[in-house]
């Protein structure tokens, strides 16, 4: 199981938007793929898979964070922003797609620590869903801070909420709270209740988080 895997599409569905009952995103999708069990047993929080390009015009594989891995299904959140991601997010059930084995380094958890803050900007939230799931299984207190340009760019809200995380959001352009996700982090750090901060998002955001911590 060292080579690539030909995975079968189980479902492709638009992500439900935050604070809505039925409205779904038109450019952010959950992609479920059927893979061998040996594959999912290797998948750990923090890892990703690289998808084969849609056509010969593109050489580089596209990396996507693993959101969930269970038995023979692995899940990803994919944002439709170009030819390749458009192809991935419009595959029909039963289609076959070539992906790599899980890559990257597992995010290690210090089980002695009780409180965690997860900070994400935009699609970066996809990389934190799996770790949030593991933290909650370990009965950790998890606060999730999500930022985006507008509420339709907030990714993963429902995953974190369903896991029992304390989810807080902020956007740059509209809605109830306007600002940067690092503004939320400042407030959390000021409260003094934190032990570990894990973040994923644009480089500028990651640098700002590093400076705050």
For residues 59-64, average pLDDT: 88
d(CA 170, CA 177): 5
In the chain, what are the domain boundaries?
5-99, 115-212
Share of the chain above pLDDT 70, in %: 92
DSSP β-ladder status, 62-70 and 73-79: antiparallel
pLDDT score of 1: 47
pLDDT tens per residue, range 163-180:
999 999 998 877 566 888
* pLDDT tens per residue, range 69-93: 998 999 999 999 989 999 999 999 9
DSSP letter string over the chain?
Answer: --S-EEEEEEEEEEEEPTT-SS-EEEEEEEEEEE--HHHHTT--TT-EEEEPPSSTT--SPEEEEEEEEETTEEEEEEE--SHHHHHHTTPPTT-EEEEPPPBS------TT--EEEEEEEGGGGHHHHHHHHHHHHTT-EEEEEEEESSGGG--SHHHHHHTT-EEEEEESSSSSSBS-HHHHHHHHHHHT--SEEEEES-HHHHHHHHHH-
In words, the CATH class of domain 115-212 is: alpha beta
Res. 24: pLDDT tops 80: no
> Among 30, 34, 20, which residue's Cα sits nearest to residue 125?
30
Pick the CATH number of 5-99 from 3.40.50.620, 2.40.420.20, 3.30.465.10, 2.40.30.10: 2.40.30.10
Write the pLDDT tens digit of every residue in 184-197. 999 888 877 767 99
Q: What is the mean pLDDT of the chain?
A: 89
pTM above 0.85, yes or no: yes
Distance of CA 146 to the CA centre of its chain: 11
Q: Please tell me the distance from the alpha carbon of residue 97 to that of residue 95, in angstroms, as a whole number.
A: 7
């Amino acid at each position: 199981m060292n080579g690539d895997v030909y995975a079968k599409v189980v479902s492709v569905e638009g992500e439900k938007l935050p604070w809505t009952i039925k409205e779904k995103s038109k450019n952010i999708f959950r992609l479920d793929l059927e893979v061998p069990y040996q594959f999912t047993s290797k998948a750990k929080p923090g890892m990703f898979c690289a998808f084969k390009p849609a056509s010969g015009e593109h050489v580089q594989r596209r990396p996507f964070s693993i959101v969930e891995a269970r038995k023979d299904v692995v899940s990803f959140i994919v944002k439709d922003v170009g030819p390749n991601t458009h192809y991935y997010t419009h595959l029909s059930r039963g289609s076959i797609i070539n992906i790599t084995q899980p890559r990257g380094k597992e995010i290690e958890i210090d089980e002695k620590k009780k409180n965690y803050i997860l900070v994400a900007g935009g699609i970066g939230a996809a990389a934190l869903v799996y770790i949030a799931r593991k933290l909650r299984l370990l009965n950790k207190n998890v606060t999730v801070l999500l930022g985006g340009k507008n509420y339709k760019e907030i990714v993963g809200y429902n995953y974190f909420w369903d896991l029992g995380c304390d989810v807080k959001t902020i956007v740059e352009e509209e809605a109830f709270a306007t600002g940067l996700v690092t503004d939320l982090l400042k407030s959390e750090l000021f409260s003094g209740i934190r032990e570990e901060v894990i973040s994923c998002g644009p480089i500028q955001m990651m640098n700002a988080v590093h400076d705050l911590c």
